[in-house]
Each structure stands twice: as C-alpha cells, then as structure tokens.
C-alpha cells in the first residue's frame, strides 16, 4: 500500500500524460486510506491476546468515622486472558481471570473471572454481573458516552482526555496513552472520582477510585479544608506485562 507521499511521487513523473482529475482521485483515495487507520489504532489501547496478562500494584486507604487515620493495605493483582470466542460480526468475547497475592514472593490465588466484549465500536466489561461501557471507539476527544448504558445504574458521562500523550508511571515510560474520565464530582459534603488510563500496546495502566464523605458539622463546613469522615481511596498501577505459552 502506498502512503500519501508515495502517491505524489508515483504520479509526479507523468503529469503530462495523466489528467488532473485522475491525480485528484489518487489524493482522495490516499486520504481515505489514512483516515481508516484511526479505529484500528484505537484498539491498541485495549489489546487482548490469549495468555497475555498484566500485573498491578494496588493500594487501598479506608477511612472510618471516629478514626483519625485510614486503614492502609497493599497487594498485587494479575489479569490474565484465558479464552476468546469470535463471531461473524467482528465481535470477540474474552474471559479474563483475576489473581491476587499479598506480595511478590507469595503465590497467586485466583479469586474472580470477568468477561470483555470487543466490538468494532466499543469495549464492554462485565464483572460481578454488571456491564460497564469501558471504551467508545474510535478514541477521539469529541466522543462522549454513558458508561452505564448496559446496566441499571445512574447515567455517568465518560469522556477522553490527554489522547496520545506520553506518561511515566512506576518507572515505565508509555509513549502513547489516553485518560478516561468516568466520574469527577466534588462538593462540600462528598467527593467521587473514577479515572482510568490506557497505554497503546499494553491496556489499562492506571485506575483511581475515590469515594469520600466529608464531615458535615458546622465547624467542619466553615473550615477551608475538608475532613474525611468515611470512604476509600484505591489506586491500581501498572507493574509488569507478560504472556503465558
């Protein structure tokens, strides 16, 4: 397949013999070929291959009423693609196993399975019998979608930010990433945040979940800083990637 510039060079030496209408036609064809690559590139933010896995470092802070400090815990999780099934509509269903261990020296223990449906225009993730509209394709800044389209929860309008930006995370440099803002709500009484980052050729590399209820006494509400009364803060970060034979 010729690139756009190859097409110009191919025509250039015969401009006296080829009508300008034909030249313009080649320009149009080349532009269409370039634009058709966008959806294919978008899939690279969520690559799925049988046997592939990603290991994450997870840290959780849980806040409880009456306690001045959160209860902090840390562990590792591994998501591994176990099987896949495709149909004639270019839809592929993947089964992914989740494993957990308390440290790198411990054995992995499988504790859950979930499914991913990859379609030409979307990625759906079903976990604990709840389906989330994870990604809308192609990945473009103007794309907006309801992440809860396929479940009974309230509408959550997802959108993309920082498309194709490089990110340094946990000692790794990811050359092309995208941020999915799933929720970003904050007030004097609570705060809810759900943000994910995906890297091309890797998949999910960062997941932050915040659910805070703030102190609502008169003294707390008059303060410039919010006091967390209850809630949690969970961060899941990329550790490594691999594939089992």
DSSP letters spanning 46-110? S---TTEEEEEEEEEEEE-TT-SS-EEEEEEEEEEEEEEEE-TTS-EEEEEEEEEESSTTSPPEE
Q: Which residue has the higher pLDDT, 236 or 221?
A: 236
Q: What is the pLDDT of residues 91-149, one digit of tens each?
A: 999 999 999 999 999 999 999 999 999 999 999 999 999 999 999 999 999 999 999 99
DSSP 115-153: EEEEETTEEEEEETTEEEEEEESS--TT-EEETTTTSSS
CATH number attached to the domain at 40-243: 2.40.360
Q: What is the pLDDT of residues 92-107, one digit of tens each?
A: 999 999 999 999 999 9
């Amino acid at each position: 397949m010729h690139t756009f510039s190859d097409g110009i060079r191919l025509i250039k030496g015969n401009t006296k013999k080829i009508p300008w209408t034909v030249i313009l036609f080649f320009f149009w064809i080349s532009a269409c070929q370039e634009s058709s690559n966008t959806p294919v590139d978008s899939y690279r933010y969520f690559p799925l291959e049988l046997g592939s896995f990603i290991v994450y470092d997870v840290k959780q802070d849980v806040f409880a009423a009456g306690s001045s400090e959160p209860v902090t815990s840390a562990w590792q999780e591994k998501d591994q693609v176990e099987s896949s099934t495709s149909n004639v509509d270019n839809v592929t269903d993947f089964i992914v196993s989740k494993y957990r261990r308390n440290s790198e020296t411990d054995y992995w223990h499988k504790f859950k399975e979930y499914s991913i449906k990859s379609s030409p225009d979307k990625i759906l993730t079903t976990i604990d019998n709840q389906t989330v509209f994870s990604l809308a394709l192609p990945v473009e800044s103007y794309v907006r979608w309801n992440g809860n389209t396929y479940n009974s929860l309230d509408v959550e309008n997802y959108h993309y930010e920082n498309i194709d930006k490089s990110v340094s995370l946990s000692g790794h440099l990811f050359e092309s990433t995208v941020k999915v803002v799933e929720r970003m709500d904050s007030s004097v009484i609570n705060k809810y945040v759900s943000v994910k980052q995906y890297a091309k050729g890797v998949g999910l590399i960062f997941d932050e979940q915040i659910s805070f209820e703030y102190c609502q006494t008169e003294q707390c509400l008059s303060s410039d800083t919010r006091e967390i009364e209850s809630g949690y803060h969970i961060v899941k970060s990329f550790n490594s990637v691999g594939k089992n034979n």
